[in-house]
Chain A
Amino acid sequence: MLLRGLPPKLRDRVWPAFFWYGDGLRMTNTWGMFSRPPLNTQVNVIGVTRSGERITLSGVQQSTKGLRQRVVDLRLRKIQSRLQEPEVRDHWGEDYLRYFCRAEGSRALVRVLLVLDEPGKSLETPLEVTCSGQEPSR
């Protein structure tokens, strides 16, 4: 219970002995919820059709959805907000966007873009994939 909250140097020393318990069984955690200033970047997934039309496939705003879809998508905001982090984006972002190529197959998407919308800044598109199986471009 207390191990994860140890000072990092001490924790790194003892962690190998408790890895099975802490990370394997996920029985320890840090509990600094809301302590850091929140990231305010909205992460949106935009699809581009053959005709050039841009469609929002997945945004973070829950309020525009119906009740059932809000319940189903309860964790989508959390999942998608992780893609603000460059290392997460590098590791998994392309897989995430390719999922929309498959799931939205009926819309005949050509490209899927990850768009970051941070207040006071212009829109940023750090990642996109082509839906025809070609190599993604950054």
Chain B
Amino acid sequence: MISDARLALVEFWTAPVRGSSAALFRVSYGALSIWTAIGVLLNLERYYTDAGMLPWTAVQHAPEQLYSLFSLAPHSTALVWAVGLVFLLASVSLTVGFWSRTSALLIFVANVALQHRNPYALNSGDRLFLVLALLGALLPLGMRFSVDAWRAKTHGEKPTRSAGSIWSQRLIALQIAYVYWYSFAAKLKFEAWQQGTALRDVLASPVFSEWPTQVNSSALIAVLTWSTLAFELMFPILVWETRLRPYVLAAGALLHLGIEITLTIPIFSAIMLVSYSCFLSDDETERLLGIGRRSRLRLGRSQSW
């Protein structure tokens, strides 16, 4: 019994992967990163320079500025533009899988600087975006469906059946599971969540809601509130079960699409959905994308991308 559990634990962390789920993560994260970088560039001077709404003097005293590139030349608008452009270029190169890991690291470094420069523009989704950039750099991002894989092939490098083990993918999956459980525990402290009325305030909020609306149906509000709690509690338990996983992820997709449509919380739902790729096995990802049979045949012929 103990030996079975130990074996399962070892396999949980070390199962071999081909890199398909990492590739799905790379492309979806990269696309979101391009969108985010464009948003940064459209607001670069307004949000991140001395000419904008938050001068350096308002943030310079925070000790964490030591970790920001902007502390090297805090009044330089050129540096802000350079960081913004690097962010965009790295996002594009990550999406196509060119220097994939380096690109993820560049996105991380650029965002550490930007987030320190204007912490008032951020929500939890931005923090998760940053965390996943660094954890994502540990994934075998470029092993499949990428320029990196194509270049390796054309340079005559021998293709491999395995891109390594699944441990880095598990780190991201556990991070997301932790987000849901933390969120569940934080909500339970508040009466409105216990009584099933919390979403009435959220949907009516002029700050959060896209179209602030007073929903008068107590039953509907209770169902929405408690189903959110139930989902956050159960996701981290059920998502590891292969048979249940598609339903759990589909429920999560519905929840986050609902948040995306009704609330104005930039990036949060999108980054949660992007992270779902790390719960999928390579087989599941290939089935999802309809490339399973074709790619397995290709791998059978020792073609790695």
Contacts and interface: CB of A to CB of B under 8 A. Distances in A.
B201 interface: yes
Contact of A99 (B52, B124, B190, B265): B52
Contacts, number: 131
Contacts of B134: 25, 27
A77 B55 CA distance: 19
B14 interface: no
A86 interface: no
Contacts of A25: 67, 112, 134
Interface in B252-274: 264-266, 268
A1 interface: yes
| B: interface residue count bin | 35 or more
B205 interface: yes
Interface string B37-66: 001001100110001111101100001101
Interface in B190-240: 190, 192-193, 198, 201-202, 204-208, 210-211
B179 interface: yes
B186 A72 contact: no
A31 B64 contact: no
B67 A88 contact: no
A1 B187 CA distance: 19
Contacts of A79: 47, 53, 118, 120-121
A132 interface: no
A33 B124 contact: yes
Given A25-B112, A35-B183, A72-B42, A77 B193 contact: no
Interface of B: 39, 42-43, 46-47, 51-55, 57-58, 63-64, 66-67, 112, 115-116, 118, 120-124, 127-128, 130-131, 134, 174-175, 178-179, 182-183, 186-187, 189-190, 192-193, 198, 201-202, 204-208, 210-211, 264-266, 268
Interface of A: 1-2, 5, 19-20, 23-27, 29-42, 60-63, 71-72, 74-75, 77-79, 81-82, 88, 91-92, 95-96, 99, 102-103
